[in-house]
Amino acid sequence: MVSGMNDRVCCGGFVLPIVGAVCCLVLRAAEPQEPHSAELKGSSAVGDLTDTASVLPDDNPFARPSPLAFQAPPFDRIRLEHFQPALMAGMKQQLREIEQITQQPAEPTFENTIVPLERSGQLLSRTRRVFFHLTAAHTSDALQTIQTEMAPLLAAHTDRILLNGPLFERIEAVWQTRDRAGFSEEQKEVLQRHYDDFVRAGAKLSEQQQNRIRVLNERLSVLETQFSENLLEATRERAVFVQDAAELDGLSDGERAAAAERAREHGHDGGYLLEISNTTRVPILTSLHNRDLRRRVWEASANRAVGENGGVDNRPLVLEIARLRAERAQLLGYENFAAWKLQNQMAGTPEAARRMLTDLVPAVRDRVRQEAEQLQAQMAADGVPDELRPWDWEYYAEKVRRRKFRIDEARLRSYFEFDSVLRNGVFHTMERLFGIRFEERFDLPVYHRDVRVFDVTDADGEALGLFYVDVFRRDSKRGGAWMSAWVSQSRLLQTRPVVVNVLNNPRPADGQPALISLDNVTTMFHEMGHAVHGLFSDVMYPSVSGTATPRDFVEFPSTFEEDWCIRPDILRNYARHYETGEPLPDDLLQKLLDARRFNQGFETLEYLAAAILDLEWHSLTPDAVPDDVAAFEQAVLKKYGVDVPAVPPRYRTPYFAHIWGGGYAAGYYAYLWSEVLAADAFAWMQKHGGATRANGDVFRREILSRGNSRDPMTSWQAFRGAPPAVDALLIRRGLNSE
């Protein structure tokens, strides 16, 4: 799953917060770096933000495009003190560029208005793409200080452009000519997006209303930043310390060693530290035999960021964000935030998204009931008389899975060594489908020793761009996984893509192999789907490049790639024992395939609960926002029939980073909406030969290369030749009785 970090990748040539990421935070000063890595160091002082020189000194690495291959960020030169001056100078430079557009005496045309708007803000864009990536992937107290200072200024900058009356007048004048000016399909789409962006931001409001919009935007930027910073701290503070090794019965030697290392890193003299994940459930719950420890770990995860024992409390932030978003939506003429947000998505309305979710509830609840009965029976067989609890579900689901399918997770992991999955799985599949090749290089600087860099070459030998991957979990990285673009493809700007996939695989103990779970494997294929969406972009204008598509479309290409990881012909190429090199045995492979749909009631219900919560929070009017977060949550879950105590939402409100600190507000439903497209597309490919270049070339031409240069439904129809159908989704999730 991708952890979303932005409302839009960009708005015209200027980038909106947070940039370049599609999905999911302290930099230790003493963190060791590889020789080719760059250590971020320097002053954290922000200084007077209103007195920054408009021209950057030559020693600031953001002053001009990077001289490195494909304009890759020069991390060996970037220091903390470079960000704030570059951001300030970038805003000033873009405002001058906007002023030049508005002061032209010539009548507005696409060439003298839209094209320079697309070109504007390049200094700001290259600075903030790196800055916001680091605040998520490798942050520090100093970076967070700068982020807190800059967030309202960047929000105000966006307002200065989107609420610029003379600029909007020129855009609207060009927009009025759209049906008679002979624009290309891509030009029409770019023009429509600019026009919609300005209208949706308040360009047609009165001056008084626009001033209120500015205030709301600045305040929201501060609150959303604070939410993300609080969540990182809450996740750290809720890690569970275990003194007695006997309590860890069920964990592998490698997992114990890693937990011991985490404890030492956090200043404990002995013992073990169990980290919690970004979701309510925690992966180690499948392994821990000690029921009380499972309860402690689950409660640490589910009760984070609620001020427990004087800790971090995100609830006041949530309530204020919900009220301000609702107020802003009403100012813009919409009933609520969800109505505003979905107006330019494929779903179109909150009702359409909600209907898609709730239509699944009866079948999913029925499957959950069947699954719970199996787990309860297993508990009884183990002599546990209590009812099934949320900290029991995954543990007993794993027991039933092993009994039913005879799968040993520890044994299975031994066939999923990270580098083999990456090279012989993910890269191999991309070569089969698209003919591209990945070659690792070691001459480019990176921001952390966990980051690796690859040249990406097309089938004809032409260089496509650069692919970075940031592999392991660490304290300075937020949870989840995501893709970011440091440089986006654009024929107008003559740029080629530089993209990065950020993962959170568990770091092995020193000297141990990096063995990962099937879930981690699936995530790697998913994120590569986002990466090739960026790498294959072939458009003129940066505002429609790569992953700059609607939220309920952007997860389609990535989810589509997931299913290749369990295709027998693909899996046999990478799933090899890390010691012997033997391929995954046929019997284990068959059990794996049989087990793929097991527990899908649980998986689907926890997602539905979170997605419904998101829509309901953002369907409120300002006056309807409650005071009690927990009570509202429970009422919503009960109203829609997703209140199953043993299956809590994947995210509870206080740590729902997607919607409060990221860009998925009123859009978390998009994962399932996109999965409908992905399942249908994958089923079509299976009927037409599977992972062939012919199939891959069609997908690349009609979907991946287009970005948002045409309506997403048009792209879908060009690829599939028929409207999307849910049949393949029901089969994919094992919810079809057939």
Span 298-325, pLDDT tens digits: 999 999 999 987 889 999 999 999 999 9
Largest CA distance in the chain: 84
Say which range, 11-15, 349-353, 358-362, has the weakest mean pLDDT.
11-15
| Residue 668 pLDDT level (bands cut at 50, 70, 90) | very high
Averaged pLDDT for residues 50-77? 85
When mean pLDDT is compared across 3-12, 337-346, 550-559, 594-603, the lowest value belongs to: 3-12
Please say if the pLDDT value at position 14 is more than 90: no
CA dist 280 and 613 (Å) reads 14
Is 373 one of the annotated active-site residues of the chain? no
Query: How far is it, in rounded angstroms, from Cα 424 to Cα 428?
Result: 5
pLDDT of residue 53: 40
Confidence of residue 257 (pLDDT cuts 50, 70, 90): very high
| Residue 586 pLDDT | 84
> What is the edge-to-edge ordering of all strands in the sheet holding 463-472?
437-441, 451-457, 463-472, 498-505, 482-487
Helix H or strand E segment including 557: helix 551-562
Best CA proximity match to 652, nearest among 325, 316, 315: 315
Q: What are phi and psi of 446, to 5 degrees?
A: -130, 170
Residue 447: CB atoms within 10 Å:
24
Tally of CB atoms within 10 A around 111: 11
Instruction: Please name the residue that has the structure tokens 């879908």.
Output: 716
Query: Does the pLDDT at position 326 exceed 50?
Result: yes
pLDDT surpasses 60 at 96: yes
What residues does 274 pair with on adjacent strands?
240
Q: What DSSP designation does 23 have?
A: -
Looking at residues 246-261, what average pLDDT do you find? Answer: 93
What's the pLDDT at 219? 95
pLDDT over threshold 70, residue 431: yes
pLDDT of residue 137 exceeding 80: yes
Q: What is the pLDDT of residue 38?
A: 41
Does the pLDDT at position 393 exceed 50?
Answer: yes
Neighbours of 461 (CB within 10 A): 7
For residue 263, pLDDT over 90 is answered with yes
**What value does the mean pLDDT take over residues 93-122?**
97
Q: Is the pLDDT of residue 55 over 90?
A: no
Give me 24's structure tokens.
Answer: 């999911």
Interval 595-619: pLDDT, tens: 878 899 999 999 999 999 999 999 9
Instruction: Compute the average pLDDT of residues 207-232.
Output: 93
The whole-number pLDDT of residue 738 equals 53
The arithmetic mean of pLDDT across residues 672-680, rounded, is 92
pLDDT at 8 over 80: no
Q: What is the mean pLDDT of residues 277-297?
A: 94
Other C-beta atoms closer than 10 Å to the C-beta of 624 total 12
Spatial distance between the Cα atoms of 638 and 618, rounded to a whole number of angstroms: 18
What does the mean pLDDT of the chain come to? 90
Strands (E), 236-349: 240-242, 272-274
Indicate the DSSP class of residue 561.
H
Residue 277, pLDDT score: 85
Helix locations, 382-427, DSSP H: 390-405, 409-413, 418-420
**pLDDT for residue 407 is more than 80:** no
Phi, psi for residue 485 in degrees, rounded to 5? -120, 115
pLDDT in tens, 486-506: 999 999 999 999 999 999 999
What's the average model confidence in pLDDT over 185-196?
Answer: 97
pLDDT tens digits along 142-171? 999 999 999 999 999 999 999 999 999 999
pLDDT tens for 698-737 read 999 999 999 999 999 899 999 999 888 778 888 888 877 5
Whether residue 124 is predicted with pLDDT greater than 60 in this model: the reply is yes
- Of these residues, 97, 189, 275, 527, which one is catalytic? 527
Q: Is residue 54 predicted with pLDDT exceeding 80?
A: no
